[in-house]
Chains A and B, each alone.
Chain A
Amino acid sequence: MSEESFDAIIVGAGLAGCVAAYVLAKEGADVLVIERGNFAGSKNMTGGRLYAHSLEKIIPGFAKEAPIERKVTKEKVTFLTDDTGVTLDYHNGREQNSTQESYTLLRGDFDQWLMGKAEEVGAQFITGIRVEEILTQDGKVIGVKADGDELTAKSVILAEGVNPILGEQLGMVKRVKGDVMAVGAKELIELPQEVIQDRFNVSKDEGCAWLFAGSPANGLMGGGFIYTNKNSVSLGIVCGLHDIGSSSKTVPQMLEDFKNHAMIKPLIEGGKLLEYSGHVVPEAGINMVPKLVDDGVLIAGDAAGFCLNLGYTVRGMDLAIASGEAAAKAVLAAREKNDFSAEGLSSYQTLLEDSFIMKDLKLYKDLPAFMETPRIFNQYPKMVADIMQSMFTVDGTPSQPIRKTLMKHCKEVGYMNLIKDGIKGVTSI
C-alpha cells in the first residue's frame, strides 16, 4: 500500500465528481478522481438540460466558456395521444440573471471541459480505471482498490452514478426496487443548424425544451422529451419500470413510435442518428436517498438519488453539482480538524439539509407516488384532446355550450377521479 495518502479520492468523473474535485483542489487539497471510462463523460448521458444556478455559483460566467449547446428560451409541454397533441407553449423573452438560465448540453463535451477546469486548479484524474472495491479498516473507509492497485485516502467521495455498486458494497445504499426507477432511451439526431432554428422557431443561440406526457411511454409513468442542441436534437423517452413486465411495447419500440408520431416526425425528418443511449433515472425522490456519510466516505450526485422529476421539469445535474460542492466543503472542514470520521464529515448532511437539494426533495416527497397514477398518462391526455377536438370541430351539427362539452369529457374520466387526483396533485407539489 502506498505511503502517500490523498485528502480525497473521488470515484467517477461526472458532474458531482468533477465539481467536488474542483472545489477541493482550489482550496489546495490533494485530490484524485478515478473514472472507468476513457474520458470524463464517456459513460454519461443526460436528457439534455442543465439549470445553471448551482454551477454558476461555483464558476461564475461558466456558460461563456463551457461547451454548452443552446440557452433555453422556449418551453413546451404536450399532452400526446397516439393521434393528437395538445401543447402549452411558453416563450421566455424576459431578461434573466445568469443563475436563472438553463442550457441544453451534451455530456461528452461538457464533462471533459469540467474535468479540465478541475485539473487547472490542481486535481489529478486517472481515466480508464475501474474501482472494484472500497478498502476499509475497522469499519472506516481508507481508500480504493482499482485495477488491482490499492490507493489510500483520508476520505472517499462516491460519485459513481445512478447504479452505486460501491455504495451497495459498503451497505450505505440499499438496493431500491426496480419499480421505483425509470429508464431513459435517447437518440441524438443530427440536423443542420438552420433547420433546427426553422422547425423549432428559435434564433441562433436559443433553444427549446419540450416535454411530452401521454402516449410516448405507452401509458406507463413517463413521457418523451426533445431538447434542441446546436446541430442536433436530443430526442428520447423516459419510462417508469413499475409495470414494464406487462407493457405491450418494449422501451426501444416506445421510442421508435414516439419518433414516428405525426407530430414529431416532421421535426426530425432527414436527420441522421449520431448516437443511441440509455440510462436509469433515479425517480424515487427522497425515499431512495441512502446513508450519505460514514467514516471516511460520502455519497453524492445520482448515486445519492438526487433527482427531481416534477413532470414539467426534470432535474438531476444541478443537484449533482450542488451535492459535489457540499461533499467537497465537508471534506475541507474535516481536513481543517483532521477528523475524517462520520462525525468529522457530518457537515455534508447539514449543508445538504440547508440547501435546495433536501428542501426540494422533502417538498416533493409525495410526488413520485402521485406520478404513478396511471390516469395522468392515459385518461388526461385523451381528455384534453377530446375537449380540443369538440371545440375546434365544425361540422354543421348544432353547437353545445362549451360548459356542457367540458363536462361530458370530464365525466369520462370520472368527477371523483378528477377531484381526487386534483387534490392529491395539488398537495404533492
Chain B
Amino acid sequence: MSEIVNVDVKLGVNKFHVDEGHPHVILKDNPDMNEYRKLVNACPAGLYKLEDDSSIRFDSAGCLECGTCKFLCGETILEKWEYPRGTFGIEYRYG
C-alpha cells in the first residue's frame, strides 16, 4: 500500500506565477530541528525537505499559500510569512 509520494509531480500540474527573487516565506538560519520536522510532516506541498545527509532544503516556489507553516512555526523558525504580491503565487483553476 505504501508508495513513496512524489509531491513535486503533483505540484507540476498546478499553475503558478512565481515571483522570482521575492520569496514570500523565509526560514530563519539554523532553525530548531524539532520545529522544522513539524513542517516536513505538515506542509501539503512538501516544501520543507530533509536531505539524506539530514541537511535541510526549503524553497517557497510551489507554495500552496495554505498557511500551515505560519500557524505551526510562524513564531519559532519562520523569519517571514506573507502572501505573494498581487497576481503572483498559486492560481487554482478549479479549487
Residues of A within 8 A of B (CB): 36-38, 41-46, 82, 106-109, 111, 128-130, 146-147, 162-163, 165, 175-178, 181, 183-185, 187-188, 232, 239, 241, 244-245, 247, 249-253, 255-257, 260-262, 273-280
B21 at the interface (CB under 8 A from A): no
- Knowing A183-B68, A252-B7 are in contact, say whether A245-B34 is a contact too (CB < 8 A): yes
Q: State in angstroms the CA–CA spacing of A106 and B65 once bound together.
A: 18
| Chain B residues in 8 Å Cβ range of A184 | 44, 66
Q: Which of A107, A245, A255 contacts B5 (CB 8 A)?
A: A255
B93 at the interface (CB under 8 A from A): yes
| Chain B residues in 8 Å Cβ range of A188 | 94
Instruction: Give the number of residues in B that approach A within 8 Å (Cβ atoms).
Output: 45
Q: State in angstroms the CA–CA spacing of A241 and B1 once bound together.
A: 24
Which residue of the partner chain A has the closest CB to B42? A244
Residue from B46, B83, B86 whose CB has the most chain A CB atoms within 10 Å:
B86
Asked if residues B91 and A42 are in contact (CB atoms below 8 Å), the reply is yes
| Chain B residues in 8 Å Cβ range of A249 | 41
| Chain B residues in 8 Å Cβ range of A256 | 3-5
Which residue of the partner chain A has the closest CB to B1? A260
Q: State in angstroms the CA–CA spacing of A107 and B5 once bound together.
A: 26
| Chain B residues in 8 Å Cβ range of A37 | 87, 89, 91
Asked if residues B67 and A163 are in contact (CB atoms below 8 Å), the reply is yes
Q: Closest Cβ of chain A: how far from B88's Cβ, in Å?
A: 9
- Knowing A165-B82, A253-B5 are in contact, say whether A183-B94 is a contact too (CB < 8 A): no
| Chain B residues in 8 Å Cβ range of A251 | 41-44
Residues of B1-47 whose CB lies within 8 A of A: 1-5, 7, 10-11, 13-14, 17, 34, 37-38, 40-46
Q: State in angstroms the CA–CA spacing of A29 and B17 once bound together.
A: 34
- Knowing A106-B95, A130-B83, A245-B38 are in contact, say whether A279-B66 is a contact too (CB < 8 A): yes
